[in-house]
Structure 1
Amino acid sequence: MTDHIADTLRIAGAQLAPVWLHRDGTIAKVVQAIADAAKQQVQLLAFPEAFVPGYPFWIEHTDGARFDSVMQKTMHAHYLDQAVQIEAGHLEPVVQAVAAHGITVVLGIIERPADRGGHSVFASCVTITPSQGIVNVHRKLMPTYEERLSWAPGDGHGLRTFPVGPFTLGALNCWENWLPLARAALYGQGEDLHVAIWPGSVRNTEAITRFLAREGRSYVMSVCGVLRREHIGDHVPHAELLRERLPEIISEGGTAIAAPDASWLVEPTPHEERLFVVDIAHTRVREERQNFDVAGHYGRPDVLQLHVNTERQASVRIR
């Protein structure tokens, strides 16, 4: 008989507001959330997309496509300044908190990596474990719509899975969860616990969370952020203009968790800032795989195969 404790995992989605466009302030909030989760014996904690330092909500509301706009240049320069440079150690407080509390963390960041010249940003999903620190940095394959005015396209290097307790963890950013081949890349590596990170909207999570669970016969946790006009601090360039242009509810949340049979463990929940904590059991995955296993007994690799390029793309290779 499978040991009950070894078969279960306590997971949580952190539906919080960042200290918007302030890297160090938001990192401090991440560290506090990890400590709060530890008090509830959480073993896996996930944060929204682009949580550090925040999602570029201004683009949609301030004529973001206007070429050579002084306002857009000012906002972009500030965004790059507050972005995360992993090589500079910006995430070290989070890595230390993860190790101290024994919690695996999935964290959405805006990354400004040195291997792409250091002046472009990517929406990256970072996985951090207590024993190994940062084990994965997945750069969003394709920014969505107006995001392309800010973020660069990523690569396949981060399309990987990792063990966490009895589960195999995979994660994707926002709308790339709709990409069948990106999902297939994770399914084929044994994923049975999927984390989908989002800026925050019930309309994004109410359908796809259950769909992913049903397709993958996996647990799926969609994690969203919240942001209101009151969160636009004076440290943000053009703060008064943004308070005038952006809606009162900028990002409503919508965090949700589905079981492998697509039943709700947490229905999409707007507005609340809190940790959504549930216990999951791997036996439920094994039960649902009895009649459908997309990369296993129901797959036909002799007919259909996916080839994934996991090479990290760099602007310059010096030998």
Structure 2
Amino acid sequence: MSQPNHLKVALAQIAPVWGNQKATLEKIKTSIIEASENGAELVIFGEGLLPGYPYWLSLMDGAAWDKKEVKELHAHYARNAVDIERGDLEEVCTLSRKHNIAIYLGVIERPQDRGGSSLYCSLVYINQEGEIQSVHRKLQPTYDERLTWAPGDGHGLRVHPLKQFTVGGLNCWENWMPLPRAAMYAQGENLHIAVWPGSDYNTKDITRFIARESRSYVISVSSRMAIATDFPKDTPHLDTLLKNAPERSSNGGSCIAGPDGEFILPPDTTSEGLIYHTLDFNRVYEERQNFDPSGHYSRPDVTQLTVNRERQTTVKFEE
């Protein structure tokens, strides 16, 4: 058992079995068990890992109107998306509870409270008791992502206690949005989770910047995926998809920065599997002695942020 101020984390730099919910879930479950057996208390998976990132949009003229191949790929993607209300994450929650390990998991969610068809890039937090504590739907899909993902809401802008830490997370380019970051800081966040589809181009700067700005630990987790090997043979229109694909669509780049803004683990573009590190909470107090963005170095009498955390829905029924 680690010390109360220590937290051992596992960064799951793995690839999905793209577009296959069942097979990707098996990889996730294996990683959870392995992380637990190696003493991890928190395991983190990349953005949209279950069942994968929508690579076809940039490789197959995804913006073309009414294009048959694109529509069929979207339908395949939707069929393999996660329906939390109907229990698609029950086995993950059971493993979390059995092994006493917290989980941040990036999923493509197809929620019933929005009609059960539209897709959201969501970050799910499961505590060590196996309970889903928050589902954060990405506020603003980036560029071509908007062709397949819907914009989320503020309901999941929440933090959670984990030993002496307070953890929170954002999806990909949300991490560049100053106000959502401020909303997390104001809730006492001191361990920030940033999930990505996979690229050191994304993680190399913002990871250190958020750590420096917030005086928190920041963990970035990405996939590492080769399109030629990680797309199942039964993927619709696979030959067309691979025609313009690079050898590796995601090179990883998972990393950790400390509360001083310096890398503890620099972006890793070679490892496949779990990457471990133990964090010491005392470092947060050390760095916040001279700067605390929501405490002694804030001026709420001058500037304040209002956050709407209501879960958005099209209709409200009154019986």
Runs (4+) off by over 6 Å: none
Taking the aligned partners of 2:164 and 2:29, their CA distance within structure 1 comes to 25
Q: CA deviation at 1:235?
A: 2.1
Taking the aligned partners of 1:74 and 1:310, their CA distance within structure 2 comes to 34
Superposed counterparts of 1:116-127, under 5 Å: 116-127=114-125
- 1:195 equivalent in structure 2: 193
Letter in 1 for 2:287: E
**Which of 141, 144, 147 is the matching residue for 1:143?**
141
Taking the aligned partners of 2:132 and 2:292, their CA distance within structure 1 comes to 30
Q: What's the CA shift string for 1:138-176, capped at 9, x where partnerless?
A: 000000000000000000000000001100000000000
Superposed counterparts of 1:251-262, under 5 Å: 251-262=250-261
Please tell me whether the aligned partners of residues 120 and 152 of structure 2 are also in contact (alpha carbons under 8 angstroms): yes
- 1:291 equivalent in structure 2: 290
Q: Provide the aligned C-alpha RMSD in A.
A: 0.9
- 1:277 equivalent in structure 2: 276
1:129 paired to 2:112: no
Superposed counterparts of 1:100-179, under 5 Å: 100-131=98-129, 133-179=131-177
Taking the aligned partners of 1:206 and 1:106, their CA distance within structure 2 comes to 21
- 2:42 equivalent in structure 1: 44
Q: Secondary structure, in 3 states, of the residue corresponding to 2:3?
A: helix
1:244 paired to 2:240: no
Taking the aligned partners of 1:256 and 1:93, their CA distance within structure 2 comes to 28
Q: Secondary structure, in 3 states, of the residue corresponding to 1:168?
A: strand
Q: Secondary structure, in 3 states, of the residue corresponding to 1:234?
A: coil
Q: What's the CA shift string for 1:281-318, capped at 9, x where partnerless?
A: 11100000000000000000000000000000011111
1:27 paired to 2:18: no
Taking the aligned partners of 2:69 and 2:314, their CA distance within structure 1 comes to 29
Letter in 2 for 1:57: Y
Please tell me whether the aligned partners of residues 58 and 246 of structure 1 are also in contact (alpha carbons under 8 angstroms): no
Taking the aligned partners of 2:194 and 2:305, their CA distance within structure 1 comes to 21
Letter in 1 for 2:284: V
Please tell me whether the aligned partners of residues 93 and 130 of structure 2 are also in contact (alpha carbons under 8 angstroms): no
Please tell me whether the aligned partners of residues 232 and 243 of structure 1 are also in contact (alpha carbons under 8 angstroms): no
TM norm structure 1? 0.98
- 2:73 equivalent in structure 1: 75
Q: CA deviation at 1:85?
A: 0.3
Taking the aligned partners of 2:270 and 2:114, their CA distance within structure 1 comes to 36
Q: Secondary structure, in 3 states, of the residue corresponding to 1:278?
A: strand
1:92 paired to 2:90: yes
Taking the aligned partners of 2:134 and 2:23, their CA distance within structure 1 comes to 23
Please tell me whether the aligned partners of residues 167 and 192 of structure 1 are also in contact (alpha carbons under 8 angstroms): yes
Superposed counterparts of 1:200-211, under 5 Å: 200-211=198-209
Q: CA deviation at 1:271?
A: 3.5
TM norm structure 2? 0.98
Please tell me whether the aligned partners of residues 198 and 252 of structure 2 are also in contact (alpha carbons under 8 angstroms): yes
- 2:213 equivalent in structure 1: 215
Q: Which 5+ residue runs of structure 1 have no aligned equivalent?
A: none
Deviates more, 1:226-235 or 1:206-215: 226-235
Number of equivalenced pairs: 316
Q: Secondary structure, in 3 states, of the residue corresponding to 2:220?
A: strand
Letter in 2 for 1:310: R
1:318 paired to 2:317: yes
Q: Secondary structure, in 3 states, of the residue corresponding to 1:317?
A: coil
Q: Which 5+ residue runs of structure 2 have no aligned equivalent?
A: none
- 1:185 equivalent in structure 2: 183
1:17 paired to 2:15: yes
Taking the aligned partners of 1:286 and 1:137, their CA distance within structure 2 comes to 29
Q: CA deviation at 1:132?
A: 5.0
Q: CA deviation at 1:6?
A: 0.9
